[in-house]
Structure 1
Amino acid sequence: MIKKIVFGLLLLASLGSTAQENLNFNAKKEITSPEINTDKSVTFRLMAPNATKVEVQGDIIGAAGMATMKKQADGVWTYTTGPLKSELYSYSFLVDGLKTVDANNVYQIRDVASVVNVVIIGGGKADNYLVADVPHGTVSKRWYNSPGNAKTRRITIYTPPGYEENKEKYPVLYLLHGMGGDEEAWGALGRTAQILDNLIAQGKAKKMIVVMPNGNVAQQAAPGEDIKGLYKPTMQLPNTMDGKMEETFTDIIKFVENNYRVNANKSQRAIAGLSMGGFHSLHTSRFYPKTFDYVGLFSPAIMPFAKTSSPVYENFDTTLKKQFDNGLKLYWIGIGKTDFLYKAVADYRKTLDGIGAKYTYVESEGGHTWSNWRDYLVLFAPQLFQ
């Protein structure tokens, strides 16, 4: 009997030891990646002892876009950047040519059909993208009926700090994404809620509601969020730039103005968008010339119209002039110097100059990137509803 008890105790001790070893295994192999160093350089680490080549790629590497990591004796590959400017950066790894995320970094964002890791270097403009100790707004995912598209669709809506506690009416910014994006893009990649929270807290921007619709009218919602289930997202979907989005935009406005406390007049409405969303903002505001007093075109996709029977694109020059003749408080255009749409925007500015239109033009460094579009929102929002 004593022998059985001793054996049992030894067995339990053995199992406990094994369990403890298993619990501690990850702690022994814990890897920190990315690590922001005191000089604002960033060190990446990836455990891949059997790999022959590991690279890190993304805008965090700069113009080169890719850098080779160095294998250490313990099988961990490392790479350290030079000191970086304040920004939200994205990156991923290539292991023997296979793209993968950083398993040690839980902060990931989907951009169309790919998932990338992100890291924020503060101490500058990226402080706008961080959650600060300030009053916060609310971000809601709502479903609305769109008779024009014969479907129920999802929309993201930011309400400012204090909205739930008072009975005030607020102005509205309709903020549109680019091709391949959806109603989640401006919130995740654009950091809209953080930017608005911080600008409002600093007294730089008015309290406003921000409406972020899905500009792909063929979709109910972002991939994986509607009745189609889980599928691989694609860049270009049907009816994205054929007038359907513009024609049915009033469905969005009606939902917002029937369900939120808003100032439903032209002086309290703004519309802005990036790339394809800039295209939609340009034509929606022109097609409904008495609807918006503020228009923002962020790297707008200004291009020949699709072959369509939509009335949205008819009599472009005449309706554009009529829009400006009706009066606008702000018509804002931003474009990067190396953006592939730079010439198209330059040509459009000549059109505006030809009709004597007044507009604000901002030219920044860089190209067709979220880095620029976040900057444009930071610049544009404080000028609204003043």
Structure 2
Amino acid sequence: MKKNLLILVLLFSFIGIQAQENVDFSKKKEIISPEINADNTVTFRLDAKNAKEVKVQGDCIPEGGFLTKGEDEIWTLTTKKLNPELYSYSFYVDGVKAFDPNNAFLIRDVSTVVNVFLVGGGKADLYKVTDVPHGTVAKRWYHSPKLESTRRLTVYTPAGYENGKQKYPVLYLMHGAGGDENAWMELGRTAQIMDNLIAQGKAKPMIVVMTNGNADQTATPGESSEGFVKPIFMRPATFAGKTEAAFGDIIQFIEGNYRVKKEKAARAIAGLSMGGMHSLVISANYPNTFDYVGVFSSALLQPKDSQAAVYADFTAKLKAQRDNGYKLYWIGIGNSDFLFEKSNEYRKLLDSLQFKYEYHETSGGHTWSNWRDYLSEFAPLLFQ
């Protein structure tokens, strides 16, 4: 028996050696793509010998750019100098979308998956994992009595939370349509931004709670009992008012399970797009709960025929919020954002009520590039 086993071992070893000998590793050329050059230009490369046309498209090249096939049969394109930023892109090979096989880093935004890369320097250094004390990110399930479901949220606790006894203020951070409790972490780089701002002394240590703002969804697609369903942009209950009405369940869970300060001066709420609307509606319906409100690329967006109680008598609710007082109401939007005019309409309403706010108009549109900037600017203003 032992002799037979030895023969088998020697046989498979010989086959393995022969297999390796048949592979000429010296001829296997490593392809680097994307390559970030010293001058902040970026070179894309793709091995697609039989392709007739290769194009790259993304926020690094909004209009798209065609790669050129070289003598080595590798398709190549070098961009112009790029500003510091987290960029996304996809290849199109003969019109068919393809991932970059030499870039292992991908990210999902709603149902679209793209490759990503980072050009460092300036504001983008906040998006990097640097050699500073790091916070902890946890996925927590909680029960929402008002929504009659067990739901998930993401919680960032600052460095030192586990070993300390101090209580922290809380920022509740809301995603946009099509997003979920993962969006601000993966697309917004929240943990990296908070780690770096806190380490630099630019932001107070705080807990950041990233909720799932879809009332009919308990967790991100693929990680709930719904299974591997295709993510959709606009959920059926988006304007039903359920998310806003049930927000007290989240506050109760956080204040019952984390060392947090339980007063208005230690609570902030902010969000992008749909989450910006959630933030302004929630803060108006809980007028003595938040001292800090951030509205990113958003406005009062619910349909006029909505019957949800949270939208009823909204002007009166804003007056109550104004009279109760707050420390910061921060509005940020890009001047080419498709909600720019809606945002102006909302500001006119606030102006008519003498409702004070800080307004930040930037370039660009409805993009994560702006929303990461807004978080980076908003967080240092909190709990001062």
TM-score band, normalised by shorter chain: over 0.9
Indicate if the aligned counterparts of 1:178 and 1:273 stay in contact, CA closer than 8 A. Answer: yes
Indicate if the aligned counterparts of 2:332 and 2:361 stay in contact, CA closer than 8 A. Answer: yes
Q: Could you tell me which residue of structure 2 aligns to residue 44 of structure 1?
A: 44
Indicate if the aligned counterparts of 2:332 and 2:359 stay in contact, CA closer than 8 A. Answer: yes
One-letter amino acid of the structure 2 residue matched with residue 369 of structure 1: T
Query: How far did residue 107 of structure 1 move?
Result: 1.1
Q: Could you tell me which residue of structure 1 aligns to residue 247 of structure 2?
A: 249
Query: How far did residue 21 of structure 1 move?
Result: 4.3
Matched, 1:218 2:219: no
Which string of whole-angstrom CA distances, capped at 9 and with x for unpartnered residues, describes residues 175-231 of structure 1? 000000000000000000000000000000000000000111111100100011112
Secondary structure at 1:203's aligned position in 2? coil
Q: Could you tell me which residue of structure 2 aligns to residue 111 of structure 1?
A: 109
Query: Could you state the TM-score of these two structures normalised by the residue count of structure 1?
Result: 0.94
Matched, 1:231 2:232: no
Q: Could you tell me which residue of structure 1 aligns to residue 199 of structure 2?
A: 201
Indicate if the aligned counterparts of 1:180 and 1:234 stay in contact, CA closer than 8 A. Answer: yes
Q: 1:12 to 1:206 in 2, by over 3 A?
A: closer
Matched, 1:18 2:19: yes
User: Higher mean Cα deviation, 316-325 or 370-379?
Assistant: 316-325
Query: How far did residue 154 of structure 1 move?
Result: 0.8
Q: 1:12 to 1:185 in 2, by over 3 A?
A: closer
Calculate the aligned-residue CA RMSD, in Å: 1.7
Which string of whole-angstrom CA distances, capped at 9 and with x for unpartnered residues, describes residues 318-359 of structure 1? 111110110010000000010011111111111111111111
Q: 1:342 to 1:170 in 2, by over 3 A?
A: same
Indicate if the aligned counterparts of 1:241 and 1:306 stay in contact, CA closer than 8 A. Answer: no
Q: Could you tell me which residue of structure 1 aligns to residue 57 of structure 2?
A: 57
Q: 1:206 to 1:23 in 2, by over 3 A?
A: farther
Q: 1:229 to 1:239 in 2, by over 3 A?
A: same
The equivalences for 1:80-229 within 5 A come to 80-229=78-227
What residue ranges of structure 1 are gaps of 5+ in the alignment?
1-8
Which string of whole-angstrom CA distances, capped at 9 and with x for unpartnered residues, describes residues 54-95 of structure 1? 100000114x2x111111233321111011111111111111
Q: Could you tell me which residue of structure 1 aligns to residue 71 of structure 2?
A: 73
- Provide the rounded CA distance (Å) in 2 between the counterparts of 1:361 and 1:191: 23
Task: Work out the percentage of aligned pairs sharing the same amino acid.
Answer: 59
- Provide the rounded CA distance (Å) in 1 between the counterparts of 2:29 and 2:250: 51
Q: Could you tell me which residue of structure 1 aligns to residue 6 of structure 2?
A: none
Which string of whole-angstrom CA distances, capped at 9 and with x for unpartnered residues, describes residues 227-266 of structure 1? 1111211101121122110000111111111110000111
Q: 1:20 to 1:280 in 2, by over 3 A?
A: farther
Indicate if the aligned counterparts of 2:329 and 2:358 stay in contact, CA closer than 8 A. Answer: yes
Q: 1:267 to 1:108 in 2, by over 3 A?
A: same
Indicate if the aligned counterparts of 1:302 and 1:341 stay in contact, CA closer than 8 A. Answer: no
Query: How far did residue 20 of structure 1 move?
Result: 4.3
Q: 1:21 to 1:195 in 2, by over 3 A?
A: farther
Q: 1:258 to 1:47 in 2, by over 3 A?
A: same
- Provide the rounded CA distance (Å) in 2 between the counterparts of 1:168 and 1:160: 11
Q: 1:16 to 1:249 in 2, by over 3 A?
A: same
Q: 1:216 to 1:12 in 2, by over 3 A?
A: closer
Q: Could you tell me which residue of structure 2 aligns to residue 347 of structure 1?
A: 345
Q: 1:308 to 1:35 in 2, by over 3 A?
A: same
Q: 1:325 to 1:10 in 2, by over 3 A?
A: closer
Q: How many residues align?
A: 375
Secondary structure at 2:50's aligned position in 1? coil
Secondary structure at 2:80's aligned position in 1? coil
Q: 1:304 to 1:74 in 2, by over 3 A?
A: same
One-letter amino acid of the structure 2 residue matched with residue 124 of structure 1: G
Matched, 1:273 2:271: yes
Indicate if the aligned counterparts of 1:56 and 1:93 stay in contact, CA closer than 8 A. Answer: yes
Indicate if the aligned counterparts of 1:190 and 1:370 stay in contact, CA closer than 8 A. Answer: yes
What residue ranges of structure 2 are gaps of 5+ in the alignment?
1-9
One-letter amino acid of the structure 1 residue matched with residue 212 of structure 2: N
One-letter amino acid of the structure 2 residue matched with residue 97 of structure 1: G
- Provide the rounded CA distance (Å) in 2 between the counterparts of 1:357 and 1:311: 22
Indicate if the aligned counterparts of 1:41 and 1:82 stay in contact, CA closer than 8 A. Answer: yes
- Provide the rounded CA distance (Å) in 2 between the counterparts of 1:44 and 1:72: 13
Match of 2:383 among 370, 382, 385: 385
Secondary structure at 1:325's aligned position in 2? helix
Indicate if the aligned counterparts of 2:239 and 2:306 stay in contact, CA closer than 8 A. Answer: no
Secondary structure at 1:148's aligned position in 2? coil
The equivalences for 1:261-300 within 5 A come to 261-300=259-298
Query: Could you state the TM-score of these two structures normalised by the residue count of structure 2?
Result: 0.94
